[in-house]
Amino acid sequence: MNVRLFKPSVGEEELQMIREAFERSWIGLGPNVSQFEAEWEKFTGCAQAVAVNSATAALHLALAVFRFPEGKKVLVPSLTFAATATAALYNRLQPVFVDSDPVTLGIDLEDLERKWDPDCVAVMPVHYAGHPVPMDELVPWARARGLKIVEDCAHTAGAIYKGKMLGLWGDIGCFSFEEKKLMTTGDGGMMVTNDPELFREVKAMRWVGIDKDNWKTAQSYVTANRDAMHWFYEIAVLGYKYNMNDLAAAVGLAQLKKLPAMNRRRSQIIRRYLNGLRRLPGVQPLLPFEPERYCYQMFGIRADRRDELMIHLKSLGIATGCHYTPLSLQPLFAPWGHNCPYIEEEHKRFITLPLHADLTDEEVDYVLEGIEAFCQAYVA
C-alpha cells in the first residue's frame, strides 16, 4: 500500500468550471475571481474578501497595508510555515519568535507577554494544524498594546471559535488554497476583513496598485459610452502582482461547494485515528484535537522514538512529515532565533500522519496497525 500524506480532492466539477472559463475566454483577473470572493464572504460571514495568488502574498499584503516604520517588530510563532515570518522581512520588519503552548502548540500567551516590547506593531497568530489560538484572550491583550492582528488561517477554513469565525477575530485573516490545504486552487489565497478602508487598499495593492477591476474596464470598452476615458486608471499606492486568476477561481468555486463535506470527512478520519491511538503506548496525539468542533488541515502524533517510527512507517509505504522545524532554528532567521526553548526541543517528537479528504478507513487502519506493530516491538 502507498498512503499519501496530503492529496487534493479534485474531479469533474473543477474541470467543468475550468471549461466554462475557457469558453468565456477570460482566464485572468475576472468574473470568477469576483464570484469566488462573494462566495467566500458568504461562507465566512466577513464583510469583504480579496482573492490573491497565495497565502504568502496575503500575509505580505496584510502587513504592508499598515505601512509600519522600517525595523519595527512583529510577534510570530516559531512553529509555523516560513511565510508567516517572511511576511515581516518582506516589509523590512523584524520577526520576534514566540514559543508554543505545550498543550495546543499555538502561540504561547505567557511567552508573548515576555517577548513584547514597545517596538512591536503586530502579532500574527497561527491556528496550528487548525486548532484555534484562544483569540478571546489574545485579542484584548493585543488591543491593549496597540498591536494590529493578522490571523494566519492557512490550516483552517470555516471553523467557529467561541461563536466567531476564525479569520475574523483580528484585523485581517489570511487563508491558503495551496494544494495541501483544506481546499485548493492549485495555488491561491484569500484575505478577509470587516474594515472597508483596509479592504479598498488591499484590493488595489493586489493588482499593481490599480483600484479598478480590469474586466469591468474591458466591458466598458464596448458598452455605449460617450466617455473616451474608459481606459483611465490611477496608481496611488505601491502594489504587487498578487491577484488570483479566473482559472484558479474556477477550481476554487467548485472546491468551496465541497468544502463542508471534505471537512466532515477529515473530522471522521481524525476521530478514527484518535480512537485507534488510545490503545497504543508510547505515542500521543499531537494536540487536543476536537474534530467535531474545528477543521484540521493536519493530524499528527508525538513519539519518543520518532525517527525509528518514521522509518518503520516509510518501509510500509506510509508517507509522514514533521511540521515544522521551528523557524527560530532556521539559518535565515538566525539573527532573531534560538529563543523558543520548548518547541525547539519538542518538535523532535512530532510526526505528521496522512490526512486528506480521500483517505479511506482502510488506509487509516493500515497506518494505525503500522504504529501498533512498532509500539509492540518497542515494548517487547
Ligand X SMILES: *Cc1c(COP(=O)(O)O)cnc(C)c1O
Phi/psi class of residue 332: alpha, beta or left (left: φ > 0; alpha: ψ in -120 to 50)? Answer: alpha
* Nearer to ligand X (CB atom), residue 55 or residue 191: 55
Q: Does 255 bind ligand X (CB under 6 A)?
A: no
* Nearer to ligand X (CB atom), residue 159 or residue 371: 159
Of residues 8, 189, 239, 370, which one binds ligand X by CB under 6 A? 189
User: Phi and psi of 169, rounded to 5°?
Assistant: -80, -35
Pairing, β 120-123 against β 148-152: parallel
Q: Does 76 bind ligand X (CB under 6 A)?
A: no
Q: Does 269 bind ligand X (CB under 6 A)?
A: no
Q: How many Cα atoms occupy the beta-carbon half-sphere of 275 within 13 Å?
A: 10
The CA–CA distances, whole Å, from 155 to 42, 136, 140 equal 20, 19, 23
* Nearer to ligand X (CB atom), residue 286 or residue 309: 286
DSSP E strand boundaries for 19-155: 48-52, 73-77, 94-98, 120-123, 148-152
Q: Does 185 bind ligand X (CB under 6 A)?
A: no
- Give me the least distance between CB of 176 and ligand X, in Å please: 4
Angle (CA) 332-334-340 rounded to 5° is: 120
Q: Does 263 bind ligand X (CB under 6 A)?
A: no
The CA–CA distances, whole Å, from 15 to 9, 102, 248 equal 12, 43, 11
Of residues 17, 29, 55, 198, which one binds ligand X by CB under 6 A? 55
| Helix-helix angle 31-44:12-24, to 10 degrees | 140
| Helix-helix angle 306-315:361-379, to 10 degrees | 130
Q: Does 84 bind ligand X (CB under 6 A)?
A: yes
For ligand X, what does the binding mask look like between residues 56 and 75, x meaning CB under 6 A?
x-------------------
Cell output for 362: 482502510
* Nearer to ligand X (CB atom), residue 247 or residue 371: 247
Cell output for 316: 510500509
- Give me the least distance between CB of 43 and ligand X, in Å please: 18
In the block, cell 515581516 appears at: 88
* Nearer to ligand X (CB atom), residue 60 or residue 73: 60
Region binding ligand X by CB under 6 A among candidate stretches 91-99, 150-158, 347-355, 357-365:
150-158
Of residues 152, 201, 246, 344, which one binds ligand X by CB under 6 A? 152
Q: 212 CB contacts (<8 Å, ≥6 apart)?
A: 233
Total residues interacting with ligand X, rule: CB under 6 A: 14
* Nearer to ligand X (CB atom), residue 355 or residue 375: 355
- Give me the least distance between CB of 100 and ligand X, in Å please: 13
Q: Does 336 bind ligand X (CB under 6 A)?
A: no
Q: Which of residues 35-54 bind ligand X (CB under 6 A)?
A: 54
Q: Does 159 bind ligand X (CB under 6 A)?
A: no
- Give me the least distance between CB of 155 and ligand X, in Å please: 6
Of residues 108, 178, 246, 363, which one binds ligand X by CB under 6 A? 178
Is residue 271 within 8 Å of 80, Cβ to Cβ?
no
Distance CA 169, CA 193 (A): 9
Q: Which of residues 105-134 bind ligand X (CB under 6 A)?
A: 126
- Give me the least distance between CB of 368 and ligand X, in Å please: 25
Q: 337 CB contacts (<8 Å, ≥6 apart)?
A: 78, 97, 327, 328, 329, 330
> Can 181 be counted among the known catalytic residues?
yes
The CA–CA distances, whole Å, from 104 to 130, 133, 289, 305 equal 10, 8, 9, 21
* Nearer to ligand X (CB atom), residue 29 or residue 154: 154
**Catalytic pick among 72, 148, 181, 203:** 181
The contact set with ligand X (CB under 6 A) reads 54-56, 80-81, 83-84, 126, 152, 154-155, 176, 178, 189
Active site residues: 181
